[in-house]
Structure 1
């Protein structure tokens, strides 16, 4: 990710020095967005640093897909258009989603996202309560909502280490959910041993978008990737013809 960021900064500078009238940086996955505040003394606010660097290098506008925090708008010196890939993933889910399925938020932070999926898929929502001990150690102890004998779709904005998904799946199975579990996330980071961790779970499929490149590995969960290229193309066309982006944006 860091190499791509440096390349983008250099490209922005080249465009600015080349006399471009306006420069829009399309950044499907905005790295460091999770560093949106200081949790202890001495920590950087990475999201602000990256946003300021892009603006300084020459970007007049940023187009991002489902950033981890909407606070990015306040951190950026230039306008930020926050597109959402939720309709893309929801359309893929709807192809074979059982009528009695439940949309599950794996923690309280993803409740609004789960409600967005619920509205598109016309399915009820359940919520798992979790506590995070570390980046790879997550404990979940309760599911709020009826999941007994029902297929579930666990939704989150990203899958990083897979710890949140793993904890949520264990709680859902303990609460009687059917062994018909789908995991959907806008960004598939899949860092560390995330793939092997997910491969050990009874998952029907893991659905992500191509905001980040994914590579096949020996220990592979049932991974499916949907493209956000049409979404980005639509946004770029609208920007260049001065048409509104409302239908493509993350709900506020």
Structure 2
């Protein structure tokens, strides 16, 4: 049994409960209410004095609410005498704001990290952050886990003679290359030109895709603009249908569903770092990262190294 107790926020209680089950525990009780003027009231309903606590709370939309709730839960645990408090943030909101595109831009990722450190979280666990270097902006240690092994297992069986793993942009190259190596498949990259924060266009392709069925690998599907543009470019270059899309975080912000439904995609596979869409208009499968998170928490409790 784990040395850590689990507390779930309201962002994704199903995942928190699944992690607790993997650890052989029930989540600790907590009360989270909203006042008439919009403030959150957070209370830990059980004694945490001298105990190690893992707070499971992804920070997807509404990002601000989920972040504030995470901070308040952490503060409640620290003030109640918890021995150590770990923030388990499977999806890291503001993770893409890790560098300034213009002189007046804020660094949201650095602000996020400073806030977690100010609450005295002892450690932060994240899964496939958009930029692994984001941890440099945190004032507490950060462990980055990867869901790629879990996702790769969900891809089997595969026609190895007719498939190619594709990174839809350069930022996804390391993740896609890891999947290609594990599956023993060829690897290609679509170079992307970002026109604005919400628009990207695919450019040249490095690697052979003609006659092959692409398996696109990325960390995040938000509006699916990058994925859609890459698929259109791949088809122009003679890639074969159907196409598979794999990503760790399925945010599916508007108009992602319409874009994905309009393309020759056989299936979209994501993890449950955030809640899955209720009734997607495209073929969607979700695999759980609860075992991955539970194993990491177990290793932390035992003082062991984490496998990323």
Same fold (TM over 0.5): yes
Asked if the contact 1:150–1:178 (Cα under 8 Å) also holds between the matched residues in 2, the reply is yes
- Quick check: 1:52 aligned with 2:117? no
Report what 2:259 is aligned to: 197
Report what 1:206 is aligned to: 268
**Number of equivalenced pairs:** 245
Q: 2:206 aligns with which of 144, 157, 163?
A: 144
Q: 1:126 aligns with which of 188, 198, 214?
A: 188
Report what 1:237 is aligned to: 298
Report what 1:226 is aligned to: 287
Q: Counterparts in 2 of 1:77-92, with a 5 A limit?
A: 77-92=139-154
| Runs (5+) with no aligned partner, structure 2 | 1-62
Greater CA drift, 151-160 or 104-113? 104-113
Report what 1:61 is aligned to: 123
Q: Counterparts in 2 of 1:136-175, with a 5 A limit?
A: 136-175=198-237
**1:111 Cα deviation (Å)?**
1.4
Larger Rg: 2
TM-score of the two chains, using structure 1 as the length reference: 0.94
Task: Give per-residue Cα distances to partners, 1:77-133, cap 9 Å, x unaligned.
Answer: 11101011010001111x221112100011122211111111111111011122111
**1:211 Cα deviation (Å)?**
0.5
Asked if the contact 1:158–1:185 (Cα under 8 Å) also holds between the matched residues in 2, the reply is yes
**1:23 Cα deviation (Å)?**
0.9
Secondary structure, in 3 states, of the residue corresponding to 2:196? coil
Task: Provide the aligned C-alpha RMSD in A.
Answer: 1.2
Aligned equivalents of 1:97 and 1:236: distance in 2?
32
**1:3 Cα deviation (Å)?**
1.4
Secondary structure, in 3 states, of the residue corresponding to 1:71? helix
- Quick check: 1:25 aligned with 2:87? yes
| Runs (5+) with no aligned partner, structure 1 | none
**1:229 Cα deviation (Å)?**
0.4
Secondary structure, in 3 states, of the residue corresponding to 2:132? coil
Aligned equivalents of 1:130 and 1:8: distance in 2?
34
**1:153 Cα deviation (Å)?**
0.2
**1:142 Cα deviation (Å)?**
2.3
**1:177 Cα deviation (Å)?**
0.9
- Quick check: 1:6 aligned with 2:68? yes
**1:212 Cα deviation (Å)?**
0.9
Q: Counterparts in 2 of 1:91-130, with a 5 A limit?
A: 91-93=153-155, 95-100=156-161, 101-130=163-192
- Quick check: 1:34 aligned with 2:34? no
Structure that is richer in strand per residue: 2
Secondary structure, in 3 states, of the residue corresponding to 1:152? strand
**1:208 Cα deviation (Å)?**
0.6
Asked if the contact 1:135–1:161 (Cα under 8 Å) also holds between the matched residues in 2, the reply is no
